[in-house]
Amino acid sequence: MNKSILYISRRFGFYLIAAFAALTLNFIIPRLMPGDPASIIFARFKGKLKPEAIDAMRESFGLTNDPIITQYASYLKGILQGDLGISIAYFPEPVSEIIGGGLIWTIFLAGSSMVIAFLIGTTLGVIIAWNRTGKLDTILPPALAFFGAFPYFWLAMVVLYIFGFSMNWFPIGRAFGNEVNPGLNTPYLLSVLYHAFLPALTLVFVSLGGWMLSMRNTMISTLGSDYITFANAKGIPSRLIMLRYAARNAILPNLTGFGMALGFMLSGALLTEMIFSYPGQGFLLLQAVQSQDYPLMQGIFMTITLAVLGANWLVDIAILFFDPRTRR
Amino acid sequence: MNNPIISVNNLSVEYVTGIKSVQAVHNVSFEINSGEIFGLVGESGSGKSTVVQAMMRILPPPALISKGNVFINNEDIMAASEADIINFRWKKISIVMQSALNALNPVLSVREQIHDVLKIHKGLIGIEADNRAKELLSLVDIEYNRLDSFPHQLSGGMKQRIVIAIALAIMPPIIIMDEPTTALDVIVEREIISKVIELRKKLDFTILFITHDLNLLLEFADRLAIMKDGEVVELDEVKNIQKGGKHPYTKKLIGSIPSASGVRQKGLLTKPDKLTFPKDPILEVKDLEKVFQSSNIFNKQKLVAVNGVSFKIFKGEIIGLVGESGSGKSTIAKLVTRLMRPSAGSIYLNGKNKKVTESRNVPLEYRKTVQMVFQDPFGSLNSIHTVYHHLARPLFRHKLKDQTEMFPYIVHLLEKVGLTPGDKFAKKFPHEMSGGERQRVAIARALSLDPQIIVADEPTSMLDVSIRMDVLEIFAKMRKENNLTVLFITHDLASARYLADRIIVLKNGAIVEENASEKLIQSPKKEYTKQLVTAASPGWLSSLGENFEKKEEYNDQ
Amino acid sequence: MKKIISIFFIPLVYFFASCENKTNRDQEGLIVYQENQISWTRNFEPLNPVSICRWPTRGGIYEPLYIYNPISTEWVPWLATNYEWKNDNRKLLFSIRTGVKWSDGREFSAYDVAYTLNLWKQFPALDTRNAWDYLQNVVAISDTLVEVDFKRVYVPGFEAIAGAYIVPKHIWSKLDDPLKFDNPDPVGTGPYTEVLRFNSQVWELGKNHNYWQKGKPHVEKLIFPTFSTNEQTTLALLSGNLDWAGAFIPAIQRIFVDKNPEHHHYWFRNTGYSTFLHTNTKDPILQDTNVRKAISYAINREQVVKVGMYNYTSPAHVTSLAGPMAKWHSPKINEKENWTAFNLEKANELLDDAGYKWKNKNERIDSNGSPLKFNIIVVSGWSDWVRSAQVISQNLKKVGIQATVRTYDFGAWIARMQQGNFQMAVGWADKGATPYNFFKSMMFSEYVKPLGETADINWHRFGIKEADFLIKEFEQTSDENKIKNIIYKLQHLFIEHAPGIPLFAELSWAECNSKYFTNFPSAENPYGPLSVNEQPSFIFTLLNIKKR
Amino acid sequence: MNNKNNLQQNSIFTRWVSGIIENQKAFSGSCIILFFALVAIFVPFFINSPTDFLGTPLSPPSFEYIFGTNGQGQDVFAQTICGARQTLFVGFSAGILVVIIGALIGGIAGFYGGRIDDILSLLINVFLVMPGLPLMVILASWLPPTPGTLLGVLVLTGWAWNARIIRSQMMTFRNRDFVSAAIISGESNIRIIVVEIMPRMLSLLASAFIGASIYAIGAQVGLEFLGLGDISTVTWGTNLYWASNDLALLTESWWTFVPTGLSIAIVSFALTLINFGIDEVSNPRLISERIWRNKVPKELINHGITPVTSQNE
């Protein structure tokens, strides 16, 4: 069995177990919540709904109270068939449809801003580590650390107000302009970029510092190792040493960090979405939680977790190309 | 002296630190003639590597060269501007790094790392570069299909040969070898050195060889300089140095090297007048086995570290366990001290079979009788505790001494191992002591429980040559005075010959030969033992069948 | 740092700005905000109470027989032209309007009305008002006449039937399970039925060309972009990207109106009912009417309104009815009994009489020495009510009562209210065309459920015989002044027993921007409610808005 | 430079602590944190209560109200200070708990290895990969919104990151000789972990604590901003919740959310400074490089070439 296939399958095995753990947790949490959705729906209509009507409604939700085990079994079977049940708040929409739309936007926003932050952050990290204790190395880390210290949503609010509302440079919300119709046409794609710019900017700005610092630290420790001195002695030009010898080795720990950080980045994205009323999972989750919409809540939490697991697995495969030690 | 190819005068190097800068190298001057093998010897911390790296100006910050110049082919590298430095490096002078293990970039294949050098200096790319690379590898007897493998797939010896190949890539007139073989086995070390010398004859380049092992240099160097605390204390032909040289430090160095051949030097280590041992062994090991299994379920790489080893140790006896790295001697040490559980076989202490599971629930009584001294003096003491704590803790644990008697007993112990005044040393922290002092504290700790057996795993290999014999002396004295049994594990046959009564030679986890130490040295039976004996005695270079004209000048003294 | 940012920004902005011009919004369509959603789901099903259909499905796409105009407070004939009670209120006849067409061109007739009402019988989950508890059968005699027979006399039943949204029989009859039907392509009788465009972020609803009221509606189409937070809604209102909305906006005068007084209008109409401080009458201390009245006297309603409600509303009347409901006020209410006035001495006096002594400067204790401590529970999302509860808790401290505010999210709050697991709570009261529903929900003893059992109405568990008798009598009669007298008597019972403490008048939030559209209703021109949230009476406004 | 060697106990620990105090970044960071802590504990007794409805709503900063009043006429200055109390308390206690649990699970996994390590590291990785906020939102809305819940939720989603770091550090220490020596001398494993190894991980544990506190403060404020905390108590998170609820931006009443936002940023920045300081102390090579860079003339510094300071012909 060639070593790299072995590595990929072992990582896949782990993510399978993690996904199973997430599913079980996802099943248990809503079940423990006080109150039940049917009475909440009734209350929402402030008395216009008679009590007898509620029981009829309970059946239509499938909120039977047969033993937990059978509920768990049907829950798992449903997931395998991709049927996540029907949302209560958006009845009778199936959960998978509501989530489908939202998930793409969240992944797009969180994913793109994270990749950008990672690229800029690591390049900056390489540069300031290369001339460490120089001028740049003394200003940049504290400055970016200061920006990183702000809470996501606070910065998002300020940025929205300054650049969106008062200076009118950027739109103040949503994922694309109203006058554009979705499809693979350039005005739509341009409008999507135009609308995603501010939210992505805040996300990138806040997480940039973290990437830069971690890359700087790994870079500094790598520059101390023998093969750098040996390369230097070999007369290899310093720019080549910086990239081919130092950076390629220093980036490996950051790559594993990249997978892990996706979870945090997603949380940040959820908050930013609410400020920019970006149609991602953020607002949907909060609404689902407040209206006790079990199926929708389970669906959102699970899709986010599976997305994160999937992304982590992809990062592991990417590491395969970067680090020959995993390959063979 | 004819035209010196390198001449270093008054070279001084400083390391800037928080308080004030440290003078690492002070006014070093020496000259090397073309085609010569010049040795630079000194103990760790004597500044020899700093000199060499300063000569190529590759010392990383916070080092700076405060004085001196280095003429290579009459061009001063110290005066060279950033642009000219490039044509010094690898064209005029190349270097083989100290620890070969990570001199190669782990993420680049061997081919890419060789091509880098060829492309920059010779502009060779593609097929031409490949051919040149294959030539270089064949020079150092490495099959060319190794070009595409990565550093992590190569053994220590192979990596070192590739680094040498890279150093020869542009055929520079001078090659610096900074402790090239320290991390390798004795036999592999000898092979590589003989290969280097063979290449030197064929390609006629000058070698500046740096090592802490004076014995090694005496074999093949022409002239050598001895450094101590950043200064050159002795600079002369090898044959003058052989006789003891001028400086007292040289005499001490020469004196303290035991040789594994020839007649046994008298009085080196105290030996009790008569050696009688009780009938039944204090410790007996029967067909001991240890197999390491990689944990993941997909593939079952098996590594047999110890394969059916049996031997007996009698009270008051010193046994030498000799083998190369990877021969399983350290694993045996861990098994005997119950740090690890054996896969098979059993260990009997005083006749009682201690078939015991993992080290966790080993009876305290066993712990009291078997103690261990480790190889790395820096790692074996915990830097946050004082010496007193290190010695008091085991006593307290086994409730051997109550609070009042503790301090005087510890002071007595410290002085017993040569750390006088004991009370001053008791209050010290590990970082306030030298390597030798720390190792003595480690021995004191092992002795604190008054054990019957001490397992010493390469106790002196990381120490400076000059103090090794003093440390071994402690073991010899303990055995004489309190009938201590010692299992002395080492790769150095010479020191085993002098300390141990009996020697067991180990290879790939199995015993090759076992005999009284003098008999084993004088008349080894097995081929591998013969190889070990010759590699460890002077004049080994000639015995490897090389036609090396230098040989007839030396004769055994 | 500043310099770098601006250099980096400016070229980028010009590039982007070119691709989307933000000011020329689509001026053909009226942009409306009613729902707080992040992405739209295509659902126009009016009957199923559980499935959230897009506004204006109920009223704008499907119309009822009669629509109650809360401002003029009378029932306006809509799909029915006339109704008539027969054999002493056991039979109700509706004459159905002729010449009405469904948006797909098919004829609208009485058979559709009968079919819709019978649908409730077939699927109880759709019978939100539980009408078939008192209905015997509903039958369409001809194209224009529907006959409804009652099991027992129940005059308020008219409201349920008149308010039913009539669905086309030729579509609903083909469905196998109407409970799971989300009606993506609506066919209705209302003014707007054509879904022009629908995606997750914005959808448009066009005019119904077969609408039975000729010449109406004036506006071509309605546009619904998504708004997730109040902030987003207000930003859109201010930037002219929203014409008609029903949002709660703090400090609206300063933020909204002052920015463009000519076009930015709002009208927070008084619904006639009040927001309540519900007191659990099963609680040992609160079951004493005088304690409840003392608490009411201690509340400084002026401060509650100023701090909690941004001075939008006014303190409640002792009967909790006001505004359009003020016409029901009984003439015999005297000022002495008004326990909603702010009167600390009266409060302390009542508490002293009830035997709650002062332990120290700021704490009263009951007979066995434990302090007077209560929890006020509020829904955590509704910040204006949370603020009001905080003011109340500070007011009660002055009369020695320790009231702590506890917030819960909606689900948890409702669960506690229904099981009576609360002492005090800020909440709403039942509403209706006449105060009948309100008084029934406050004092009807048949609705009182023991603590722990889920009560969907009458959370404060209060019921008295006299009220039951009056309510049953109300249900029998359709005679105007008999109804008025019953309401007067119910008011006096309410004032005497104080089952709940009214705080301030409940308003319906409504804002509009008259830059592109005119003829919005207002306090001066109150032809209909401005708020989009008042369903289905927003139809009056929807039909009269004109393009500027 | 004061004379360091007069310290009686010249042990690694005291040298580490003196290093921190001397380090400029760590020192200034800890001063800021101390200032905020003292203000949060003592000042609330001297200023008006944050919940009283005093001035007219949304009045700009004036002499009477330094930070002006919020949407309900409450004193924003009082709210910012009193808000610090619970936020910092929950933040730092979450930090401590996260480090303790991390050290416990990471330590045991790293020390014992084998099957125990496999199970525990699986647990660690599962929690690491799980996205934090969605889990927090669900838990926070399920449990009663008390500070205890916040603390529990923060620790549950935060402990894994540190556990991983501590586990890998423990594994490096596990094979060191002084640990084997302790085992051979009969020490119990727990005692080895606590007395021998943990003190060696001091700077790691300290920076883990600081990292966890930064995470806890940020996440807590995020949750409260979403209204999932107890919005009737006064904390930095609820201040921002009410500010955004009263449309602070649109009413141009920046003073209602800027002071709280800035104090959160300053506290987190101060903590990051301390972390920078700790890194520098535990890696002295950087300090000497900085001195080296100032000492060597500019033109002599170029990569990979050791500078020669004095040229004697």
Question: Does the beta carbon of D292 lie under 8 angstroms from any beta carbon of chain B?
Answer: yes
- C333-336 contacts at long range (C-beta below 8 A, 24 or more positions apart): C333/C491, C333/C492, C333/C495
The pair of three-digit structure tokens given for residue B381, joined into one six-digit string: 């003491």
Q: Rg for chain D (alpha carbons), in Å?
A: 24
Report CA-CA distances (Å) from B440 to B189, B377, B400, B473, C280.
Answer: 29, 9, 21, 11, 82
**For residue C503, what pLDDT is reported?**
92
Question: Does the beta carbon of D11 lie under 8 angstroms from any beta carbon of chain B?
Answer: yes
**For residue A39, what pLDDT is reported?**
57
Half-sphere exposure (Cβ direction) of C505: Cα atoms closer than 13 Å: 20
DSSP C253: I
List CB contacts (< 8 A) between B153 and chain A. 328
pLDDT confidence tier of residue A64, bands split at 50, 70 and 90? low
Question: Does the beta carbon of A240 lie under 8 angstroms from any beta carbon of chain D?
Answer: no
User: From CA C303, how far away is CA D52, in angstroms rounded?
Assistant: 12
pLDDT at C142 over 80: yes
Q: Is D165 exposed, middle or buried (0-12, 13-18, 19+ CB in 10 A)?
A: middle
**For residue A5, what pLDDT is reported?**
81
**For residue B546, what pLDDT is reported?**
44
List CB contacts (< 8 A) between A263 and chain D. 128-132
Nearest-neighbour CA in chain D from B529: distance (Å) = 30
In tens, the pLDDT along A168-191 reads 888 877 777 777 777 788 888 888
**For residue B542, what pLDDT is reported?**
62
Tell me whether residues A226 and B299 touch, CB distance under 8 A. Answer: no
Candidates A260, A264, A262, A296; CA nearest to A281 is: A296
User: From CA B134, how far away is CA B118, in angstroms rounded?
Assistant: 12
**For residue A53, what pLDDT is reported?**
58
Task: Write out chain B's pLDDT in tens, 557 residues.
Answer: 467 888 988 889 888 876 677 888 888 898 888 888 899 888 777 888 888 888 888 888 888 888 888 888 888 888 888 888 887 888 888 888 876 667 888 888 888 888 888 888 888 888 888 888 888 888 888 888 888 888 888 887 888 888 888 888 888 888 998 888 777 777 778 888 888 888 888 888 889 998 888 878 888 888 888 888 888 888 888 888 877 778 888 887 777 666 666 666 665 666 776 677 777 788 888 888 888 876 555 556 677 888 888 888 888 888 999 888 778 888 888 888 888 888 888 888 876 655 544 445 677 778 888 889 988 888 888 888 888 888 888 888 888 778 788 888 888 888 888 888 888 888 888 888 888 888 889 999 888 888 888 999 888 887 877 788 888 888 888 888 888 889 999 888 888 888 888 899 988 888 888 888 888 888 888 888 888 887 777 666 665 544 344 333 333 33
Cβ pairs B/D, distance under 8 A: 121
Report helix, strand or coil for D120: helix
**B174 vs C16 pLDDT, higher one:** B174
List CB contacts (< 8 A) between B89 and chain A. 233-235
Are C375 and C345 within 8 A, CB to CB? no
Q: What is the ipTM of this complex?
A: 0.80
Determine which helix (DSSP H) or strand (DSSP E) holds D140, and give its type and residue range.
Answer: helix D132-142
**For residue D8, what pLDDT is reported?**
43
SS (H, E, C) chain A: CCHHHHHHHHHHHHHHHHHHHHHHHHHHHHHCCCCCHHHHHHHHCCCCCCHHHHHHHHHHHCCCCCCHHHHHHHHHHHHHCCCCCECCCCCCCEHHHHHHHHHHHHHHHHHHHHHHHHHHHHHHHHHHHHCCCCHHHHHHHHHHHHHHHCCHHHHHHHHHHHHHHHCCCCCCCCCCCCCCCCCCCHHHHHHHHHHHHHHHHHHHHHHHHHHHHHHHHHHHHHHCCHHHHHHHHCCCCHHHHHHHHHHHHHHHHHHHHHHHHHHHHHHHHHHHHHHHCCCCHHHHHHHHHHCCCHHHHHHHHHHHHHHHHHHHHHHHHHHHHHCHHHHC
First CA to last CA distance, chain B: 29
Helices (H), B243-397: 248-255, 329-336, 364-369, 377-380, 387-397
In tens, the pLDDT along C256-281 reads 898 889 999 999 988 888 999 999 99
Are B441 and D181 within 8 A, CB to CB? no
**For residue B529, what pLDDT is reported?**
85
SS (H, E, C) C53-101: CCCCHHHHHECCCEEEECCCCEEEECCEEEEEEECCCCEEEEEECCCCE
pLDDT at C15 over 80: no
What average pLDDT does this structure show over A12-41? 74
In tens, the pLDDT along D184-219 reads 888 888 889 888 888 888 888 998 999 999 999 999
3+ Cβ–Cβ pairs closer than 8 Å linking C and B: no
Tell me whether residues A325 and B150 touch, CB distance under 8 A. Answer: yes
What are the beta bridge partners of residue C402?
Answer: C373
Q: Which residue of D has its CA nearest to B394?
A: D185
Q: Above pLDDT 70, what percent of chain C?
A: 95
**For residue B557, what pLDDT is reported?**
34
Cα B145 from chain centroid?
31
Identity of the residue in A225, A229, A235 whose CB atom sits nearest the CB atom of B120 = A235
User: From CA C346, how far away is CA D110, in angstroms rounded?
Assistant: 71
Q: Which residue of A has its CA nearest to C51?
A: A91
Are A191 and A176 within 8 A, CB to CB? yes
Report CA-CA distances (Å) from B304 to B308, B334, B339.
Answer: 10, 15, 17
**For residue C536, what pLDDT is reported?**
87
A residues 240-259 closer than 8 Å to B (CB): 240, 244-245, 248-249, 252
Report CA-CA distances (Å) from C71 to A10, B240, B320, C248, C320.
Answer: 71, 121, 109, 21, 18
The pair of three-digit structure tokens given for residue D233, joined into one six-digit string: 């108590």
Q: How many CB atoms lie within 10 A of CB C177?
A: 9
Report CA-CA distances (Å) from A88 to A280, A293, A295.
Answer: 19, 5, 7
Determine which helix (DSSP H) or strand (DSSP E) holds C278, and give its type and residue range.
Answer: strand C269-279
Candidates B396, B300, A297, B140; CA nearest to D134 is: A297
Q: How many CB atoms lie within 10 A of CB C46?
A: 26
Nearest-neighbour CA in chain A from B82: distance (Å) = 11
User: From CA D113, how far away is CA D171, in angstroms rounded?
Assistant: 8
Q: Rg for chain B (alpha carbons), in Å?
A: 26
Report CA-CA distances (Å) from B184 to B42, B152, B190, B495, D50.
Answer: 19, 16, 10, 18, 72
The pair of three-digit structure tokens given for residue D101, joined into one six-digit string: 């649990």
The pair of three-digit structure tokens given for residue C175, joined into one six-digit string: 């469905």
Are C391 and C310 within 8 A, CB to CB? no
**For residue D108, what pLDDT is reported?**
92
User: From CA D259, how far away is CA D253, in angstroms rounded?
Assistant: 11
Which residues make Cβ contacts (< 8 Å) with residue D17, sequence separation at least 6? none
pLDDT confidence tier of residue A59, bands split at 50, 70 and 90? low
Are B220 and B197 within 8 A, CB to CB? yes
Which residues make Cβ contacts (< 8 Å) with residue D66, sequence separation at least 6? D77
The pair of three-digit structure tokens given for residue B382, joined into one six-digit string: 């915990």
User: From CA D295, how far away is CA A131, in angstroms rounded?
Assistant: 16
3+ Cβ–Cβ pairs closer than 8 Å linking A and B: yes
Residue in C22, C35, C39, C123 to test binding to A, most A beta-carbons within 10 Å:
C39
Identity of the amino acid at C161: I
Burial B149-183 (b: 16+ CB within 10 A, else e): bbbeebebbbbbbbbbbbbbbbebbbbbbbbbbbb
List CB contacts (< 8 A) between A162 and chain D. none
In tens, the pLDDT along C474-524 reads 888 888 888 889 988 888 889 889 999 999 999 888 999 998 899 999 888
Identity of the amino acid at A184: L
**For residue D2, what pLDDT is reported?**
36
User: From CA A32, how far away is CA A34, in angstroms rounded?
Assistant: 7
Report helix, strand or coil for B100: helix
User: From CA A102, how far away is CA A108, in angstroms rounded?
Assistant: 10
**Lowest-confidence range among A243-252, C50-59, C78-87, C181-190?**
C50-59
Tell me whether residues D288 and B337 touch, CB distance under 8 A. Answer: no
**For residue D24, what pLDDT is reported?**
85
Q: What's the average pLDDT block by block, 10 residues per block, for chain D (313 residues)?
A: 42 77 87 92 84 76 83 84 91 94 92 86 84 77 78 89 90 88 87 88 89 92 84 87 81 85 93 88 77 79 79 44
**For residue B555, what pLDDT is reported?**
36
Q: What is the DSSP track for B290-320?
A: EEEE---SS---EEEEEEEEEEEE-TT-EEE
**Lowest-confidence range among A188-197, B173-182, C405-414?**
C405-414
pLDDT confidence tier of residue A165, bands split at 50, 70 and 90? confident
Tell me whether residues C307 and D242 touch, CB distance under 8 A. Answer: no
List CB contacts (< 8 A) between B339 and chain D. 180, 183-184
Q: Is A291 exposed, middle or buried (0-12, 13-18, 19+ CB in 10 A)?
A: buried
Beta-sheet strands, E only, within B375-479? 453-457
In tens, the pLDDT along A66-76 reads 677 877 887 78
**For residue B168, what pLDDT is reported?**
85
Question: Does the beta carbon of C231 lie under 8 angstroms from any beta carbon of chain D?
Answer: yes
Write down the mean pLDDT value for chain C.
86
Which residues make Cβ contacts (< 8 Å) with residue C94, sequence separation at least 6? C65, C80, C82, C83, C110, C113, C145, C146, C148, C161
Q: Which residue of A has its CA nearest to C429?
A: A46
Candidates C287, C420, C425, C422; CA nearest to C366 is: C287
Candidates B156, B231, B175; CA nearest to B32 is: B175
Q: What is the sign, positive or negative, of the torsion defined by CA atoms of C134, C139, C140, C141?
A: negative
D residues 192-221 closer than 8 Å to B (CB): 196, 199-200
What average pLDDT does this structure show over C368-392? 85
D residues 294-313 closer than 8 Å to B (CB): 295-296, 302, 304-312
Determine which helix (DSSP H) or strand (DSSP E) holds B159, and give its type and residue range.
Answer: helix B156-168
**For residue B67, what pLDDT is reported?**
86
